[in-house]
Chains A and B, each alone.
Chain A
Amino acid sequence: MIISRQKEFDEILQLLTQKNIFVIGCGKCAKKQHTGGEPEVLDLKEKLKNAGKNITGWTVLSSACSIISWEDVLAQNPEIKKSDALLIMSCGGGVSVISRYAGMRVYPALDTESLGGVCCNEIVKELCGMCGDCTIWQYGGICPVTQCSKSLLNGPCGGAVEGKCEVDERLCAWDQIFERLKQLGKLEDLEMIQGPKDHTKKFRGKKV
């Protein structure tokens, strides 16, 4: 699941220089996190109205990043044609897909943080660093690229205090990796020296 959070309302208002706005939510990740489902779309719509914007209409797409075609969205939502701009309550993937086809100004209402997950109503952030070179089993299923604040692949930095990362309140990923590998009886995996990541596997520019 893509983890996102709503931008501050004042920031959204500053972005929207146009008057006639159509709001689009997302029925997948943003809905599950309550950042861009129907209740959030309606709430934002009201706030924008109160701030003097003309909301031409709204919808929650089943998935903003995965649409059949823009014509299909337009057919379901003819008010879009009467609008000056679109405000999208989805992750950057959804905003990008819509921007690609809409032919008008498209603004994000959310900031996209990371690739995470949800289980038993608990939203877990930064589970995968999308490095393009997955070796997560070597770390007991805990990805150091994103769970360690410095993406260290060979062990902890020494900056943790009482088990807490120097960056925030989270526990040091390396303690968790150790515990998980211990449970799995695979502590020897920690002894392997890991080389630097090959970033051509993530970014464009890979030699063909």
Chain B
Amino acid sequence: MSFISNLHSGKFIITAEISSPKGTDISRMNRDADLLKGIADAVNITDNQRAVMRMSPLAACGIIQGKGIETIMHITCRDRNRLALQSDLLGASAIGIRNVLVMSGDHPVKGDHEGAKPVYDVDSVQLLGILKKLNNGFDFAGNELAGMTDLCAGAVTNTELNETGFIKFKKKIQMGATFFQTQAVFDIKSFSGFMEKVNGIRSKNVKIIAGIIPLRSQRSAEFLNMVPGIKVPEIMVRKIKVSKDPEAKGMEIAARIIREIRPLCDGVHIMPVGNHDNTKTILEMAGLI
């Protein structure tokens, strides 16, 4: 079944994130994809994440789809104007990509090409609107397309939203986002508060897929605490610190988080730091597969 059918069937969704390579060697990306085959409902391919230049997600999705794995192509507003974004979306649809995840994108100064021009010709809300038009057979300018796109629109969200963040979340739904993938969840109470807030405004057709980052070490936990939208509770950092096998402890914590949030949301999105060697085990520990 396709990702979108699974999404609407009520199945608890599993997605996982892979970075495209920094270069043309696709062996590590392919290895990760193979590890996820038959486990994940779809595999996300990032778009120059953290503003670090990597292989185009359009090309990477094409390669991974060739293995019979469905993808969710990330598309940021940072590097392309409205023409380039639309061409990539047409291309994505034409090569069989069925899902895209729309986001603003980290600012170029955060990455490895600090002097790059930040484009942001459109923002994520506007890009969702453009996508809706393409799916209806028209471009942003109103010109008719020879063949419409067939793309399921997703968006991202932090789980601690202030008032303006929440308004933007609502706008994304209004503009056609059918699923949200969240920043990594560590604090169940806070996530539960987020779900309560969004349940008040979302229809059943808007799905929430919670982000999961398995901790690997005290350093990785401390690093994550500096990432916007992520808060690793002090007690969790301590547990990792005192553990003889921090990686195993991190897997145990990730599996527990998945079990606890399962009744609250529609799926989980696994975003390991590094490769997917442990993803299958974590999902087994969580009772998902």
In the bound complex, do residue A193 and residue B174 qualify as a contact, i.e. CB atoms below 8 Å apart? yes
Q: How many angstroms between the C-alpha atoms of A194 and B77 in the bound complex? A: 15
Binary contact readout A144-155 vs B (1 if CB under 8 angstroms, 0 otherwise): 000001111111
Give 1 or 0 for each of A182-197: 1 = CB within 8 Å of chain B CB. 0000000011011111
Chain A residues with a Cβ closer than 8 Å to the other chain, count: 27
Number of A-B residue pairs, CB cutoff 8 Å, is: 84
**Docked-complex contact B123 and A154, CB < 8 angstroms:** yes
B247 within 8 A of A: no
* Shortest beta-carbon distance from A143 to chain B in Å: 14
Q: What CA separation (Å) do A161 and B158 show in the bound complex?
A: 12
Determine whether B34 belongs to the interface, using a CB cutoff of 8 Å to chain A: no
Binds B, one of A29-37, A51-59, A82-90, A172-180: A172-180
- In the complex, which of the residues B109, B175, B229 contacts A158, with contact meaning CB atoms closer than 8 Å? B229
| Complex CA–CA separation, A155 to B157 (angstroms) | 12
Which chain A residues lie closer than 8 Å to B164 at the CB level?
Answer: 155-156, 174-175, 177-178, 190
Interface members, chain B 22-53 (any A CB < 8 Å): none
Contact A152/B120 with A177-B164, A193-B125, A193-B171 known, Cβ cut-off 8 Å: yes
Residues of A within 8 A of B120 (CB): 150-152
Q: Which chain B positions have C-beta within 8 A of A175?
A: 162, 164
Interface on A for B, CB 8 Å cutoff? 149-161, 166-167, 174-175, 177-178, 190-191, 193-197, 199
**Contacts known (A174-B164, A177-B164, A193-B175); A159 close to B107, Cβ less than 8 A:** yes
Please, which residues of chain B bring their CB within 8 A of the CB of A199?
A: 121
- Which chain B positions have C-beta within 8 A of A190? 164, 167
Q: In the complex the two chains form, what is the Cα distance from A199 to B167 in whole Å? A: 26
A151 CB to nearest chain B CB (Å): 5
Q: Cβ of B104 and Cβ of A152 under 8 Å apart?
A: yes
How many of chain B's residues touch chain A, expressed as a range? 35 or more
9 closest A-B pairs by beta carbon, nearest first, are A155-B168, A154-B125, A157-B104, A152-B123, A174-B164, A196-B122, A150-B120, A158-B158, A159-B228
Please state if B168 and A160 are interface contacts (CB–CB under 8 Å): no
Closest A-chain residue to B77, C-beta based?
Answer: A150
Chain B residues positioned under 8 Å from A174 (CB to CB): 164
Identify the interface centre among B78, B167, B229: most chain A CB within 10 Å of its CB: B167
Per-residue CB contact flags for chain B residues 108-119 toward chain A (1 = under 8 Å, else 0) read 011000000010
User: Do B126 and A195 touch (CB < 8 A)?
Assistant: yes
Other A-B pairs, 14, CB within 8 Å; known A167-B107, A193-B174, A195-B129: A150-B120, A151-B120, A152-B123, A154-B126, A158-B156, A158-B183, A161-B226, A166-B107, A167-B110, A174-B164, A178-B163, A191-B171, A196-B126, A199-B121
Rounded to whole angstroms, the CA-CA distance of A199 and B164 in the bound complex is 26
Contacting pair B107 A191 (CB below 8 A): no
